[in-house]
Structures are given as C-alpha cells and as structure tokens.
C-alpha cells in the first residue's frame, strides 16, 4: 500500500482571522503582532511582502517599511477558536492526523485510493474547511511529510498540489535549498559558502560529503533533498516543560515590579500543573539585561505543584540571579521534568485550610478564567494568563518568530 500523507496549512492564518472579523481589512496591507515599541510581527498579509516585511521581524521596522499597513494587536483566544473549528472538521474526516501547530496539520490518507481517491478526498476536505470557516487553506499531498510540506509552500496562496510517487526528486530539484525543512539561516549560509543554492546540487552530492560538513543534520538534509525522509505522524504532543516570558515595554530596574511579575508567572504555571494533573521537579528563572546578555538558573526540587513550595524557590532563584543591577529587558519562568500525578501532602507543613484554599481558587479559575482570582502579591502584573490548557495534547501556540 502506497503512503499518502497530506499536509494542510492555513494561509496567513492570523491575518485571515482578523479579516473574517472585520471585512474592511480585505485586500489591505495588514500586520498582526505586538503593538508596543518591542512588538514583533506574528503574521503579515501578502500585500506587505513586496516591501520586505516578514513574520518575526520588529513591528517598528515593519511599520517603517510599509507605513500604510494596518497594525493589529494579536489575540490568541480568537485564533485558538478558529483553529479548533478547523481541527474538528479534520478530526471528523480522517482517522489519523497530527496538529503540528495552531495553523498546520498532517493527515494519513494511505489506503484511500482504493475506495475514493486521496487527492479527491483531500480536495473535498479543503473545500469543506473553506466553506464552513471562511479561512483560506492550502495543501500538499505526497508519499511523506517532508515533500508534502514543501508542496504546500509551492501551492500557496489558497491552492493545492499533488506530487505523485517517483516524482519527488524532479519536483524538489529546481527549488532553493532554503525550501527544505530544517535548513535555517545559518545552515543556508554554510551551504551557500559551499556553492550550494538549489536542491539539485545536494541531490548530486554523496551523503558522506554533507555529513562531513554538517554532521547528522547534513545527512537529514541529503535525505530530504531526495524525498526520502519520512518522520512518523505524532497524533499527541506530550509536553516536557511549560514556561512563560515577559518582555517589558521599557527596560526596568524596579525590583518590586520584577518580583511581582516573577511571582505571577510562577503562580499561573503552578495552576497549569494542577489543572493538568502534573508535577514538576525542575524550576528555572531567566533574565535578559538591556545589553541582551541572558542568564538563567535552575534547581531540582521534590515533585510538586504547590504555590507555597514553588513560588519561594522561584523568588530565591531570581534574587541569586539578579546581581548586576542593570536594567532588565525580559524575565521568564520555566517548569520542567514533568510527570503525571497529584500533589503529595506534607504531614508536618500542610494544613487542611491551605489545601481547601487551593481547591477553591482553582475551581474559580476553571469556571471564570485564570485571572479571576490571584494572590495579592501578583496583582501588579499584567496579563500573565495562558488562556489555554498546555496539556491538551496540542502543540504550543506560536505568536511570532516563525517565517511564513
């Protein structure tokens, strides 16, 4: 049985969502992302591309390159809602699928040709998504994930492309080596220094040469250039860590503000652990100074999800870390080494009143939102909520730093 892997990608997803909400934005240059001085472009419309704008760049620079563009602050809850609508349609239509990101999906249609026709079925599913959600979507269909993903990129905008078995190499050959997944800016520069600009050149090279230059990644790129690499679909994403960061609009040295933000981050992440029935045994704090030097510290602790255990440790780490007394640009908190389980009561330190308080606060948060109740020490921090369950099996929401 021939493999038939479908790759679906919602075109300029955040922009398309904003245009669904406000039809006046149709055909207009549009930038979605952070609107502050340090905002980043999460998505940009095709009308802005000819000015050199791309996702991941500074919003300030993008606004200078395309001054007539409309700038909208990103809203993750809206994008999550539309993403769920698409996910539900795909879930109904295919037996095995992988949600690679908020706007990107893989589906295994192997065996469909025998009964219906994989390409015909994929076309009908794409038309259903467009009709029911109003969102433009492209797809690529081939024998593996890598070729299908590249095919989707070539099909855009709002189109579809099938690469038949045996035609993978001729399809990939004339493309830029940058089109191969896993070729980032540094790898691309290394390959350009070797005189490699097209996939065709890699196809003509022995795998040993690529391995000698780029190591294991070189072998992966060689296989993908030949259309051979076939990673499996991952229906469920198991989270190995959860984290949150905050970049301040202005660099600050206000220790009270910094500690309040760190406190609120730790409180919110601890709630996420309890909501997902998870425990963490490694916690870390990260700070980035105004000169962009970044430092972090982590410690191992007994498995826990309790605020009164985690928050003091986090604040202690911050106090040890913040020694330079320079302006701080960014702070972050991360919990890792996660396992499934519930908090084990400490017979000597924990009281029934405290455990009941946790339960009551978590019940209120689940019902009315994560910001509906907070400890007084975190009241000064702004919008530290995650607004989605990080343990629902879906990949993290990416709001920026992803080239589209």
Q: How confident is the model at residue 332 (pLDDT cuts 50, 70, 90)?
A: very high
> Please, are residues 281 and 348 in contact by the beta-carbon 8 Å criterion?
no
In DSSP terms, 336 is beta-bridged to 241, 282
pLDDT tens-digit readout, 222-259: 999 998 877 888 776 777 888 888 888 889 999 989 99
> Quick one: DSSP state of residue 381?
S
pLDDT score of 401: 35
Comparing 272-276, 281-285, 390-394, the range with the smallest average pLDDT is: 390-394
pLDDT score of 384: 62
pLDDT score of 399: 42
How distant, in Å, are the alpha carbons of 120, 150, 163 from that of 168? 20, 10, 6
pLDDT score of 402: 37
Concerning whether 104 is annotated as a catalytic residue, the answer is: yes
3-state secondary structure (DSSP) of residue 380: coil
| Cα four-point dihedral sign 203, 207, 211, 213 | negative
Residues at the annotated binding site for Mg(2+)?
Answer: 9, 103
Comparing 158-162, 203-207, 307-311, 343-347, the range with the smallest average pLDDT is: 343-347
Average pLDDT, the chain: 86
What is the chain's percent helix, strand, coil content, to nearest 5? 40, 20, 35
197 alpha-carbon distance from chain centroid: 28
pLDDT score of 360: 87
pLDDT tens-digit readout, 74-113: 888 888 889 999 999 998 988 888 888 889 999 998 877 6
Which residue in the block uniquely carries the two structure tokens 């990949």? 395
Residues at the annotated binding site?
Answer: 9, 103
Of 2, 68, 92, 104, the active-site residue reads 104
pLDDT tens-digit readout, 128-176: 999 999 999 999 999 899 999 999 999 998 999 999 988 999 999 999 9
**What are the structure tokens assigned to 336, written together?**
């890792």
> Please, are residues 311 and 266 in contact by the beta-carbon 8 Å criterion?
yes
Give the number of C-alpha atoms closer than 13 A to the C-alpha of residue 397, restricted to the C-beta side. Answer: 22
């Amino acid at each position: 049985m021939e493999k038939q892997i479908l790759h679906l990608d919602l075109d300029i997803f955040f922009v398309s969502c904003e245009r669904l909400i406000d039809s006046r934005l149709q055909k207009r240059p549009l930038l979605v992302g952070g609107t502050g001085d340090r905002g980043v472009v999460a998505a940009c419309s095709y009308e802005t591309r000819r000015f050199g704008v791309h996702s991941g760049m500074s919003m300030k620079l993008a606004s200078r390159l395309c001054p007539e563009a409309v700038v909208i602050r990103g809203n993750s809850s809206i994008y999550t809602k539309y993403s769920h609508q698409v996910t539900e349609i795909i879930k109904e239509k295919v037996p095995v699928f992988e949600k690679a990101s908020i706007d990107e999906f893989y589906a295994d249609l192997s065996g469909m040709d025998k009964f219906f026709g994989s390409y015909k079925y994929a076309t009908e599913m794409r038309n259903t998504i467009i009709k029911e959600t109003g969102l433009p979507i492209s797809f690529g269909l081939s024998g593996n994930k890598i070729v299908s993903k590249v095919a989707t990129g070539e099909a855009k905008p709002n189109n579809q492309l099938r690469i038949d078995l045996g035609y993978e190499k001729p399809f990939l050959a004339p493309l830029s080596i940058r089109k191969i997944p896993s070729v980032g800016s540094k790898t691309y520069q290394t390959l350009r220094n070797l005189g490699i600009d097209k996939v065709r050149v890699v196809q003509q090279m022995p795998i040993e040469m690529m391995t000698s230059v780029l190591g294991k990644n070189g072998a992966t790129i060689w296989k993908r250039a030949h259309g051979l690499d076939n990673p499996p679909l991952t229906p469920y994403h198991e989270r190995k860590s959860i984290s949150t960061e905050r970049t301040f609009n202005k660099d600050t040295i206000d220790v009270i503000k910094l500690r309040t933000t760190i406190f609120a981050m730790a409180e919110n992440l601890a709630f996420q652990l309890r909501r997902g029935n998870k425990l963490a045994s490694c916690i870390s704090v990260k700070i980035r100074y105004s000169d962009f030097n970044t430092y972090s510290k982590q410690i191992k602790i007994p498995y826990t999800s309790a605020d009164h255990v985690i928050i003091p440790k986090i604040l202690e780490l911050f106090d040890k870390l913040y020694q330079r007394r320079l302006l701080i640009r960014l702070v972050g908190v991360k919990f890792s080494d996660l396992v499934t389980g519930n908090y084990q009561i400490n017979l000597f330190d924990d009281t029934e009143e405290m455990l009941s308080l946790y339960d009551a606060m978590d019940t209120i948060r689940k019902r009315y939102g994560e910001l509906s109740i907070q400890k007084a020490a975190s009241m000064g921090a702004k919008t530290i909520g995650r607004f989605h369950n990080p343990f629902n099996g879906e990949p993290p929401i990416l709001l920026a730093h992803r080239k589209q």
